[in-house]
Structure formats: structure tokens, C-alpha cells
Amino acid sequence: MDARVRRHFVTAAAALGGTVLFAYAVSKVGWADIEAGIRRVGWGWLAILALSGSRFFVRAEAWRQCMAPAVRIPFAQAFAAYLAGDSIGNLTPLGLIASEPTKVFLTRHRLATREAASSLALDLFLYSVSVIAMTTAGLVALLITLPLSIGWRETIVGVMIAMGVGVAVSFRLIGGTWIAGKGERPRWRARLASLREAVLTFSAGHPARLWRVFLLHSVFHILSFAEVFLALRWLVGRPTIAQALVFSALDRVVVVAFKFVPFRVGVDEASSGGMAVLLGWAAAAGVTLAIVKKVRSLVWTAVGLLLIAAHPARGAPATDPPGSARAHRT
């Protein structure tokens, strides 16, 4: 089976599996309850749409801040490229494999390939750190909010310890552990070395820049939390901050773990419905929350696809500075 056939097979399987899971989640809670929840949200959906759009603005600016000032592209172009790349990532099971090259392609007339790839790798690294922080906060909130059994509490603590170990190992690897006498680095080690170089170059003399980007990613998560909190206010009445934080963390985990499922169809509904039950609400509240978020994702994806269609194909791509190494190569 060649790569193209395999990709089509994965796409079809992920879409089919997600559709079956979606149908199961909806049938289990009943469409009448979901429809009632959607009516309660009403015009508040526009506020949710605005909050989700503002998150794209924040992520686009975080990406711009990862670029060297001399090559930093205009905000409007970064926003258009980021939104278009996210749209492609949502539509296909390739996730980052599709979204990141799309951003590079759409900025190629203003930003050299090396600069684009390096800034995107740095942005993704710092975003991943913020996701781990957000997930940890959600797990802590879960421990505080629910009277969980000892087994569940031990599992959650174990997950947090595993994440901490994973972060420590990642920073150790990025810090450089390869001995030259071992010969040529494996490709994945070469990529880590390239990322380390990008981090060191970015922060050289200005370590506050790393914190600035991390702060922007934190604002992204705060806006995501606000979006969930508002939706839950319409769906369940008076959610606590901890409960909304749990749902926000769940959303980040699902996005990362199930990026290969287009729009996370079915996965969002099943996980949100299960979390709602765990928090003592009707499963319909969680499923409805997932559907509301799905609709706003469809809207922004449509905008991203329009931006791709409107992107000019003419013009020579920007070139890397003479003598510069290509990003992510040995």
C-alpha cells in the first residue's frame, strides 16, 4: 500500500469511526435534549464565535513574535496563514503534517522557508509547554472538584508525574545529549538539535521574548476557558471555574490526541458527554457543548479555506539568507 492510498484509507477510517461515534453519542442522549440546549445558547453563539476567533489572533501574534524582527511579516498575513493552516489541519487526518506546510506555503513570498519553519517549530514547542500547563491545571481542578475514588486519584497523580517526567526528558534531549563519536545523529535527534538552535537564537540576549510568547499562549488558553465557561452558563446554569477548567483541559487533550480525526467528529461529543456525567450533569450538556464548538470550527474553517482560495499564486518565493543552514536537517 503506497503512501497516498494509506492516507486516503486513514482519512476514510477516521471519518467513518468518528461519524459512528457521533451518531452513538447523539442517539444516547436524544436529539430533543441537544436541540433544547442549542436554543438556550441562542444568540450567545455569536459571542462564542468571537471568542474563538480572538484565539486565532493571539496564536498568529505568538507566531509573529517567534520570528526575527528583521523578517517579521505583517500581522494580517500571519493571521491569514495561521487560520488557513488550521483549517487544513482540521479537514485532514494529517494534522500538523498538513497545517504547518500550509502556513509556510502561504507566507513564502514574504518569509523564507528556513525562517518560516524555524519560527513555526519554536511556536509549536512553546505552545506544547503551555498545553501541558493547562492540562495539569485541569487535572488539579478535577481532583479538587470531584470526590473521586482512590484509584482515580492515583491515576490522575500518576498522569501528572508522567507529564512532568516527559517534560524533563524533552528539555534534556533538546538541551543536547548526542556524543559526536557516535556518528551521525538520527533524523529525530537532528530535528531536536535544530529546535535547540532556534530556541537559543531566539532567546539570545532577550530571554524575556520566550516568556512573552508563552504569555500569549496562556492568553489563548484563557480565551478558550472563557468560551467554555460562557457556553456552560447557558447549558447548565452556574458552572464553577474549576468545572469549566476541566472541560477546557479536556478540549486541549482531545485536540492533541485526536488530531487525525477530521474535526474530532464523535470524539468531542463522546468525551464531553462522559465528562458532563462525571461532573454530575446530564450527558446532553456535554454533547451539546461539543456540537456548539463544532459549528464555530466549521465557520472558521470556511473562512480559512476562502483565504486559501484568495491567496495570490504569483510572485517569487523569498530566499534564505546566503550561507544559512536549512531548518530541521542534519
Exposure b/e, 7-38, CB count within 10 A at least 16 = b: beeebeebbeebeebbeebbeebeeebbeebb
Residue 300 is predicted with a pLDDT of 93
If you average pLDDT over residues 57-74, what whole number do you get?
Answer: 89
Give the max Cα distance, the chain: 67
Tell me the pLDDT tens digit for each residue of 122-148.
888 888 888 888 888 888 888 888 887
- Kindly report the pTM of this predicted structure: 0.82
Q: Is residue 329 over pLDDT 50?
A: no
- If pLDDT is split at 50, 70 and 90, which confidence band does 54 have? very high
Residue 196 is predicted with a pLDDT of 66
Percent helix, strand, coil in the chain, to 5, is: 80, 0, 20
Q: Is residue 178 over pLDDT 60?
A: no
Residue 194 is predicted with a pLDDT of 65
CA distance 162 to 151: 16
Q: Indicate the DSSP class of residue 92.
A: S
Residue 330 is predicted with a pLDDT of 29
Q: Is residue 259 over pLDDT 70?
A: yes
- Residue 11 neighbours by CB under 8 Å, 6+ apart: 92, 93, 262
